[in-house]
Amino acid sequence: MHCVRTIAPDVLYVGGSDRRLALFENIYPIPRGVSYNAYLVLDEKTVLLDTVDKSVGERFFENLEYGLQGRMLDYVVVNHMEPDHAATLSELLRRYPDVEVVGSVKTMSMIDQFFGLDLSGHSRTVKEGDTLISGHHTFTFAMAPMVHWPEVMVTYDTTEKILFSADAFGTFGALGGNLFADELDFQGQWLPDARRYYANIVGKYGVQVQSLLKKAAGLDIAMVCPLHGPIWRKDIGWFVEKYQRWSTYTPEEKGVFIACASVYGNTENAAEIVAARLAENGVREIALYDLSQHPVSDMVGEAFRFSHLVLAASTYNNGIFTPMENLLLDLKAHNFQRRTVALIENGSWAPQSGKLMAELVGSMKEMTVLQNTVTLKSTAKEDQRAALEALADALAADILS
């Protein structure tokens, strides 16, 4: 049964949410689910903006059929060809064989790559600044390569001032009833998933996101319709400011992300001593995690949030205990940069993790590693308390300055 909502005059939400998928892109846990947004504009011509993942395909086609009310579908704008949006495109073309496909030149070649479809005669390749007039509405297209794939573009409806932003401004989390961010406790309940989505999906492409933000700044935007998560029509500037920070690798909070990779809890004990001293110094933004207990994608999000990091890891097989190594490799892969880092290493016979963590952190851009790394041999000893506290004092002084 269809489940359609009108979000603006002539504009319907025809997407759906998946609350069963465990791993988005088969890697990122999504305990709150995910939505695959698609939008239908009913004008003199009908325009569909993107399709959906296969998992919500049945609902999407019911929604589309209901929204069209027997009319033909004239255009499908493909802003992004990743299968979480485009897996149902070939089925759409089978059901609506006369539809004209609108997309970038790379989108057209990807349609061929994915589906082996011949679109000749019913495709329209668009480039920066091209327009599509559906009657009352005029759409303009802006290329947004690598936000998050090379073929990506965004579509601006100059009539309703809606930016169909593809993956940009997306968020993990299924939608249920309320579609607009201002109808939800976004800051309290959605922001961590928005940050985690940004950091893990487009975090690597800060330069390209900056380029898109510059283009968007030149538009009069009343509504942002992303391909995942809530729609924005109020406080858009607040979310844009988050994107400004994330895409320039600027922390949101002056505080400390303390990441522990501890086999038996002794490394974690040292980290707790640092956390306690930070608190005594007046640092209030402290988040201490046992990396073994959290998906690495959550930790990447937290790293993006904070200005300072304490990395505390055991030595393991003469390397870095795996949960920490995984986090650092993931942060490097996402172009993480511009932070201050303190290190705690542990090793019962040959501590190596400090040197190896410093090498990995040093391979990232504009990272400052404090020199006073603390080395534990199996456990923190009372005569090491001063060194741990000195580490915390140095961090606190930097944070509170």
Residues that bind ligand FEO (CB under 6 A): 80, 82, 84-85, 148-149, 167, 227-228
Q: How far is the CB of 227 from ligand FEO (least distance, A)?
A: 5
Say how many residues make up the chain. 401
Task: Pick the closer one to ligand FEO by CB: 36 or 61.
Answer: 36
Task: Pick the closer one to ligand FEO by CB: 40 or 78.
Answer: 78
8 Å CB contact between 388 and 270: yes
Q: How far is the CB of 37 from ligand FEO (least distance, A)?
A: 9
Q: Angle at Cα 322 formed by Cα 316 and Cα 327, nearest 5°?
A: 140
Q: Which residue is nearest to ligand FEO (CB)?
A: 82
8 Å CB contact between 142 and 104: no
Q: How far is the CB of 235 from ligand FEO (least distance, A)?
A: 23
Secondary structure of residue 319 in the 3-state scheme: strand
**Considering Cα of 22, then 37, then 145, then 124, what sign does the dihedral take?**
positive
Q: How far is the CB of 277 from ligand FEO (least distance, A)?
A: 42
Task: Pick the closer one to ligand FEO by CB: 15 or 351.
Answer: 15
**Considering Cα of 323, then 325, then 328, then 334, what sign does the dihedral take?**
negative
Task: Pick the closer one to ligand FEO by CB: 82 or 345.
Answer: 82
Task: Pick the closer one to ligand FEO by CB: 229 or 354.
Answer: 229
d(CA 266, CA 141): 55
Secondary structure of 234-277 in HEC code, one letter for each residue: CCHHHHHHHHHHHHCCCCCEEEEEEEEECCCCHHHHHHHHHHHH
Task: Pick the closer one to ligand FEO by CB: 80 or 334.
Answer: 80
Angstrom CA distances, 252 to 21, 306, 370, 398, stand at 30, 6, 21, 16
Consecutive H or E run containing 295: none
Q: How far is the CB of 175 from ligand FEO (least distance, A)?
A: 14
Q: How far is the CB of 126 from ligand FEO (least distance, A)?
A: 19
Task: Pick the closer one to ligand FEO by CB: 179 or 376.
Answer: 179
Q: How far is the CB of 141 from ligand FEO (least distance, A)?
A: 18
d(CA 341, CA 371): 9
> Any idea which residue has 């690798």 for tokens?
249
Q: Two tokens at 29?
A: 């846990």
Secondary structure of residue 116 in the 3-state scheme: coil
